[in-house]
Amino acid sequence: MRDRRTADRDGTGRGRVAIVGLFPPPGEASLREGSIATCIHDLVCTVPEKWRSRLIVLGNALPGHRGAAVEEGIAVDRCWERGSLRYPEQILAAVRRHRPAAVHVYYEIFLFGGAGAALRFPGLLHRLREGGWRTLVTISNLVPWARLTVDYMRLTHTPPLPWLAKPVLRLHYHRLLAAAERITTFESNAADTLHGDYGLPRERVEVIPLGVSRRDRASRQWPARARLGLLANQIVLLFFGYLTRYKGVDLLLEGFARHARSCRDTVLLVGGGKPTRLEGSHSYEGFWRDLQERGARVEAGRAQMLGYVPGERVDDLFAATDLLCLPYRAHRSSSGPLIQGLSWGLPMLLTDAFEDIVPASWSFCEARPEAVARFLDRFMTQPGFRKELEARFTRWAASRPTVSDVTERYLSIYDELAGPAEG
């Protein structure tokens, strides 16, 4: 197998790295399909100038955005179609065109499309390795087998067949892990799952957390509220992220409705659209309609169902907020909205779905409407509780690495895999 670090002198890609994953539209920092796009955007926007010519993003094609261009000062080739079973061939063709020395691929089970697309991913890694490209795979959203139950699969809108899913996942990840040269994940609990459930030696996986951005909420809160049409004296509660059963949006709406009967100073903003893989599904569309009806039943204007929030409005939502509400019902190994909340210095309502992410000895809200209502009541009526909650999240945010810290760690791996830059 040829090592691309020592490729020929005729236009070699020595020192260059291709980053494969979802990427936002030009001028935006997020994408409807999930937080991986934001993760890659943050990475390329914080690399030092000397690295900009060494990176190319192989991103998903978007309406009106296909092919090669320069975005955020980085070469971007929107070369693969999300949901197409041909995406491995599309990515491999782009790698051959651009001839990097190493390829960094972000992966979660539905990142490239549905289950069929996921099953083709290990083959892509094998072909890259056979072609001499060194590979780094960042794996996210792993579910420990002990939590992969019928209830979990129903909550995540997947066929409730854990007896079938487990052997398929075992084979899938064994093939994937055998083909990947370097492996990273976002949280230590995901590394534990790779080791405990899939037999990956613990020393083969490196944990590189999602980085926080340290945003200034205090100076931006009032202008953001004015742009959103909110009152200066309102207490703003926010749910953010695409809407699925496991995220507990229904119980948040019911809990907020109970809370709102006795407290008139709060408003709930629900920012999130439909996951593209579930659009048109009969069961999901019924769930979506139920959420809209629940929001409409709350006192007029108190619960605002915003739908998908375009990138230019996301900062205003977080800047305007007093409490981020993430009442998830099912286990998470990482969470983009949680990291955004930490970046903006927000206190949060969290359930034990986050117990593998947050610091030890954390107190959680139960994933029940009455518990949500009690939590919101305490937040509004007990200054000591609110102050301690804010201090706890401030300390946790300060302990997390920044986006720049995370970028430095990835660039160190890139140097090891791709070798020094030419010239």
**pLDDT value, residue 335:** 86
pLDDT at residue 12 above 60?
no
Is CATH 3.40.50.10540 the right assignment for the domain spanning 221-399?
A: no
Q: Does domain 4-211+402-418 have CATH number 3.40.1010.10?
A: no
Could you tell me which residues come within 8 angstroms of residue 219 by beta carbon, excluding any fewer than 6 positions away? none
Residue 5 pLDDT: 52
Residues 349-400 pLDDT 10s: 999 999 888 876 777 999 999 999 999 999 999 999 999 999 999 999 999 9
Give the residue, 171 or 3, on which the prediction is more confident: 171
Mean pLDDT of 224-243: 93
- In this structure, are residues 99 and 13 in contact, taking their beta carbons and an 8 Å threshold? yes
Separation of alpha carbons 65 and 251, rounded Å:
38
195-217 tens-digit pLDDT: 999 999 999 999 999 999 989 99
DSSP result, 119-158: HTHHHHHHHHHHTT-EEEEEE-----GGG--HHHHHHTTS
Please give the radius of gyration of the chain, using alpha carbons only, rounded to the nearest integer.
22
Mean pLDDT, to the nearest integer, of 176-202?
Answer: 95
Identical fold for domains 4-211+402-418 and 221-399, yes or no, is yes
Phi and psi at residue 84, in whole multiples of 5°? -85, 135
**pTM of the predicted structure, to 2 decimals:** 0.91
Give residue 362's pLDDT. 78
| Length of the chain (residues) | 423
Residues contacting residue 120 through CB under 8 Å, at least 6 positions apart: 85, 87, 88, 112
Under 8 Å CB-to-CB from 131, ≥6 apart: which residues? 2, 92, 95, 96
**Measured distance CA(390)–CA(273) in Å, rounded:** 28
Domain ranges of the chain: 4-211+402-418, 221-399
Give me the mean pLDDT over the 16-26 stretch: 94
Q: What is the pLDDT of residues 273-319, one digit of tens each?
A: 998 888 888 889 999 999 999 999 998 789 999 998 887 789 999 99
Q: What is the mean pLDDT of the chain?
A: 91
Dihedral Cα 165, 167, 173, 177, nearest 10 deg: 170
105-125 pLDDT tens trace: 999 998 998 889 999 999 999
Confidence bin at 4 (pLDDT 50/70/90)? low
